[in-house]
């Protein structure tokens, strides 16, 4: 597991310069997590965190201005989430690589981010050593996927069956999972910086695509396809 926050080493800035220095942008909406990751990475030889972003919009903006080698991207952030931010960054800045950092092991979200162009995928339960290995591997032009996630992806392909949630857009899937996990429309709207009316529009569009008539039917469908707690809140 990643070291406890109170056991992290003091902040130290890597003073190495030159072509071998890997410049990293850390995007995570939790301030303590974000700054702690930055401290750990800055203490590693050959790495430097050049920016921290609290949401997807900020990550896109900083990526354009600072041109990091690697963006370490959380999936779930307010407003523009990790999937959309990853897609927008890679669409306009192909020289930047994205390593996704997440607390979720749901292979559906992993596959969508990899399909969007992410080069790496690790969990927040990973040790610092694995995080650094992922960054270095991706910077070298290869992909890195945590073993536990890779296993789930392989098993998902072996046990492939038609999944109605595959027909949803990334935003629809995000909202569907939040509804399945009993989050209220108003809370979802606040979190995504959208109006309740917009969330309800998405809700009825989701119902239509999935062929369900109520939140209860949506939840039952989500249970059958393993989507419960896929977007669980974290503090």
Domain with CATH 1.10.10.10 in the chain: 164-224
For residue 104, the model assigns a pLDDT of 64
Q: Beta 22-27 vs 70-74: how paired, if at all? A: parallel
For residue 200, the model assigns a pLDDT of 92
Q: Which residues of the chain have pLDDT under 50?
A: 1-18, 230-235
Please check whether the domain covering 5-156 is classified as CATH 3.20.20.150. no
For residue 99, the model assigns a pLDDT of 95
d(CA 192, CA 203): 14
For residue 158, the model assigns a pLDDT of 55
Its CATH architecture, for the domain 164-224, is Orthogonal Bundle (1.10)
């Amino acid at each position: 597991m990643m070291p406890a926050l109170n056991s992290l080493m003091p902040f130290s800035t890597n003073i190495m310069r030159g072509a071998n220095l890997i410049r990293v942008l850390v995007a995570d909406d939790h301030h303590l997590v974000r700054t702690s990751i930055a401290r750990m990475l800055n203490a590693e030889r050959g790495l430097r965190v050049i920016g921290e972003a609290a949401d997807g919009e900020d990550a896109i903006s900083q990526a354009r201005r600072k041109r990091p080698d690697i963006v370490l991207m959380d999936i779930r952030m307010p407003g523009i989430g990790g999937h959309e931010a990853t897609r927008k960054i890679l669409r306009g800045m192909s020289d930047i690589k994205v390593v996704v950092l997440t607390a979720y092991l749901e292979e559906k979200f992993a596959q969508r981010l990899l399909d969007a162009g992410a080069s790496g995928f690790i969990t927040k339960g990973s040790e610092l050593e694995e995080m650094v290995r992922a960054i270095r591997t991706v910077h070298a032009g290869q992909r890195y996927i945590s073993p536990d996630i890779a296993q789930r992806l392989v098993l998902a392909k072996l046990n492939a069956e038609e999944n109605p949630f595959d027909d949803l857009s990334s935003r629809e899937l995000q909202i569907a999972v939040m509804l399945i996990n009993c989050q209220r429309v108003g809370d979802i709207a606040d979190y995504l910086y959208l109006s309740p009316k917009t969330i309800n529009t998405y809700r009825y569009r989701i119902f239509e695509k999935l062929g369900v008539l109520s939140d209860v039917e949506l939840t039952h469908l989500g249970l059958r396809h393993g989507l419960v707690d896929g977007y669980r809140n974290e503090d």
